[in-house]
Amino acid sequence: MALIVQKYGGTSVGTVERIGRVADKIAAQRKKGDDLVVVVSAMSGETDRLTEMAGQIHDHPPAADVDVLLSTGEQVTIALLSMALAKRECPARCYTGSQVPIRTDNAYSKARIREIGPERMRADLDEGRVVVVAGFQGVDEDGRITTLGRGGSDTTAVALAAALKADECQIYTDVDGVYTTDPRVEPRAKRLEKITFEEMLEMASLGSKVLQIRAVEFAGKYNVPLRVLSTFEDGPGTLISYEDDNVEEAVISGIAFNKDEAQITVAGIPDKPGVAYRILGPIADANIEVDVIVQNVSKDGSTDLTFTVHHRDYDTALELARKSAAELEAREVSGNTDIVKISIVGVGMHSHAGVASRMFEALANEGINILMISTSEIKVSVVVQARYLELGVRALHDAFELNKGPVSPEAPENW
Amino acid sequence: MALIVQKYGGTSVGTVERIGRVADKIAAQRKKGDDLVVVVSAMSGETDRLTEMAGQIHDHPPAADVDVLLSTGEQVTIALLSMALAKRECPARCYTGSQVPIRTDNAYSKARIREIGPERMRADLDEGRVVVVAGFQGVDEDGRITTLGRGGSDTTAVALAAALKADECQIYTDVDGVYTTDPRVEPRAKRLEKITFEEMLEMASLGSKVLQIRAVEFAGKYNVPLRVLSTFEDGPGTLISYEDDNVEEAVISGIAFNKDEAQITVAGIPDKPGVAYRILGPIADANIEVDVIVQNVSKDGSTDLTFTVHHRDYDTALELARKSAAELEAREVSGNTDIVKISIVGVGMHSHAGVASRMFEALANEGINILMISTSEIKVSVVVQARYLELGVRALHDAFELNKGPVSPEAPENW
């Protein structure tokens, strides 16, 4: 008998009918003997409906009021799911974030969990009840309602799993696991049985939007085994946990990519200490996040600095870079919005030589020119021209033999 | 500077635009210096929308879950109103029932208020904030959400006014006060400046559906002056309080009527003790409420018993009466669904002789036959044939000079 925390997102509970199907799943699993704590999001569309009403009243409504408003979304879901379980004669009890309690700081609309009181949930579990909890919300020390911000329901589930020392935290979603890459780009992409927290973090931040980064960090920190699986079809999903030394690791686990970035280069900068700071400081001050940063060794007393920013920040960043370049008497500033970043990710790579060169070779064989290279312990990223996205991903998928094993299943039906 | 508790019902906050207008009213009154606690209902239609979803999931959903669901309705309103006040630079803070706290018993969906903690509201008022409270809801000692049942928001407002020792509790609604009778029946009906709690109870239970009976009882018990007034137009409304001996009372305050009743007569019952019980006992056991009961003195050793029940219970009650009549060897049972009850109400009548006879005279002058008569300290009710409703109400309105004074205003515009 295991203690499992499950989380169902907004699409999974998007209609009364779907809530019924989720209740079927839960009731069946409860019958098998598992103790279950179920975290749910607002029904899809509900948060947007509420936000729109708020927007008609106030352009910048107070965050505390927004939290009171939005937290009703999950509260509706817990009540409906609890009724659906009652209908199936599966004893259940539902909790808002305040009721659990899930204590947070008072950073309304982006609160962080401080502490969870597991006593009431434990009492329910001991009496055989399924515990249904509203995701995304908590309560501050003043008794006011808070929300955890976007994707907060994943974090709620992981935090509850940590507090209850659950055996596993299962995130139900509309895909059946984490894939070696995006199946829309490489149809032979394959579901991973396992992936490490670190790899998942790289995959997530690089654009495989299956799980919220914060939830993965949290799970890693508290060593909560995390499983991503489909609400809509059966299957084992993908288990995210710490590296298991007993298993022979694949060299790399997956290929991520990001189409949202643009590249800015400041060339011919007279090389002296502080150049990178003089250029990137004003950009950080403007709250613009910089992703890849590459500076090569200087040549003839001058150096080139290249970095990438999100498309939406490109114009501002370019202007700031031009200003800094003028002050530094750099030769020129250029930009390119027509790029894509492709990354190979895998904890295996740090114990295998030649992973990066195998990547570069595969791209070269396809005639793909690499604009930038950036590496970390468990990933290698390259920036290439946007038109090479599909070609590059498929070439790498082949080169690292990721399409060995079962073929990817059909896309989940939309029920 | 007064402390006022205001309550705005579902129609008054039925749209984002209306919430804005309510916020205008509140901000203006706050500027004048009054301390304000504002109780709001769910936006009109919201409770039905939620109830319908629940109905799709479970025919008889657990009441505790229903309360978790329905309480989101008012929570949405407090958040939106709080935002609207922020927009008008009127400092405010909103509370769910749990947060106040409004402590209730655990009779989910029809909970009764046990205790209110006024400390947090007081602290807000001291700091110049308007306090916005979700009506209709509370929290039991186990920390679970409860609702007070239909019309509970009026009760919330009165209870808060009692707990805070407020100067007045104002119930904003879509009519501009309590009328001498229904203006749709007697166009010359006139708004009452004042009415006593007892009169209001008689008026409310007799069909003038302006205020919830429970709220009026509560206000009377704690001596909270209650004012009914219009959200949509300015005016003093009607003040409901205890009898004020200094004011010369009108003999009667108003005329109420009820079209929902049907009459059943058991005639020729051999008169012996326990007859009324033998007939009405089985009807009470079937959970049927009996309103007027009349038994005349017996004649020739037999008596007649007549009573009224709601239309929906008529068939059942008639059958039960027939069964009892057979056991009692009564002569016959007859029924009449085509009746109406008209009542004159007024605390003044107990100190004025001849009120009842003036009523009977007025009806006789119009050729209206009285089927039943029933009296209490502050009211006289007659049952007449349904077709005499308008004629009877107008005759009585004239006879008691209720149409003296200002003419009733136009029906409120529907903004």
Q: Report yes or no: A186 and A393 within 8 Å, Cβ to Cβ.
A: yes
The pLDDT of residue B405: 52
Q: How far apart are CA A327 and CA A338, in angstroms?
A: 28
B158 found inside a domain: yes
- Partners of B294 in the beta sheet? B306
Token pair of B101 as six digits: 């706290």
**Cβ B96–A68 below 8 Å, yes or no?**
yes
**pLDDT higher at A243 or B400:** B400
- How many C-beta atoms lie closer than 10 Å to residue A45's C-beta? 13
Rounded CA gap, A85 and A20, in Å?
8
Residue B282 scores a pLDDT above 80:
yes
The residue written with tokens 């209850």 in the block is A164
| pLDDT at residue A212 greater than cutoff 90 | no
What residues does B132 pair with on adjacent strands?
B38, B94
Nearest to A87 among B19, B57, B75 (CB): B57
Question: Do B225 and B402 touch, CB atoms closer than 8 A?
Answer: no
Measured in degrees and rounded to the nearest 5, phi and psi for residue B99 equal -75, -25
Q: Residue A303: beta bridge partners?
A: A269
Domain span including residue B113: 3-173
Q: Tell me which of A46, A69, A144 to substitute to probe the interface with B (most B C-beta atoms closer than 10 Å).
A: A69
Taking phi first (over 0 means left), then psi (-120 to 50 degrees means alpha), and beta for anything else, what does residue B321 get? alpha
Considering only CA atoms, which of A301, A297, A309, A295 is closest in space to residue A266? A295
The verdict on residue A145 lying in a domain is yes
The answer to whether position B330 is within a domain reads: no
A65: left (phi over 0), alpha (psi -120 to 50) or beta: alpha
Lowest mean pLDDT among A142-146, B57-61, B352-356: B352-356
A404, amino acid identity: K
Q: What is the mean pLDDT of residues B111-123?
A: 95
Are A231 and A17 a contacting pair, CB within 8 Å?
Answer: no
Q: Please tell me the distance from the alpha carbon of residue A167 to that of residue A330, in angstroms, as a whole number.
A: 57
Name the residue among A61, A65, A83 with its Cβ closest to that of B54: A83
Of B179, B178, B196, B185, residue with least CA distance to B346: B196
Question: Is A162 domain-assigned?
Answer: yes
CB contact under 8 A, B61 and A144: no
Helix H or strand E segment including A344: strand A339-345
**Contact residues on chain B for A69, CB-CB shorter than 8 A:** 75-76, 79-80, 83
Q: Is the link from the previous residue into B101 a cis peptide, with omega within 30 of 0?
A: yes
Q: Region A272-278: what's the mean pLDDT?
A: 81
Which CATH number covers residue A42? 3.40.1160.10
The residue count for chain B:
415
Asked, for residue B69, whether it belongs to a domain, the answer is yes
Its pTM stands at 0.79
Residues of A in contact with B69 (CB under 8 A): 75-76, 79-80, 83
- Residues of A in Cβ contact (< 8 Å) with B87: 57-58, 61
3-state secondary structure of B276: helix
**B324 min Cα distance to partner chain A (Å):** 41
Asked if the structure places residue A266 within a domain, the reply is: no
Q: Taking 60 as the threshold, does the pLDDT of residue B223 lie above it?
A: yes
pLDDT in tens, A338-392: 999 999 998 877 666 678 888 888 998 999 988 888 888 788 889 999 999 999 9
Looking at residue B272, what DSSP letter applies? -
Tens digit of each residue's pLDDT (9 = 90 or more) over B320-350: 999 999 999 999 999 999 999 999 998 877 6
Q: Would strands B35-40 and B130-134 be described as parallel, antiparallel, or unpaired?
A: parallel
End-to-end CA distance of chain A: 31
Most confident of B42-46, B151-155, B402-406: B42-46
Q: CA-to-CA distance for B370 and B52, rounded, in angstroms? A: 44
Check pLDDT > 50 for residue A31: yes
In a domain, A132, yes or no: yes
Which residue type is seen at B152? G
In a domain, residue A154? The reply is yes
Instruction: Extract the tokens encoding B251.
Output: 């003999």
Q: How many domains does chain B have?
A: 1
- B109 with B68: CB under 8 angstroms? no
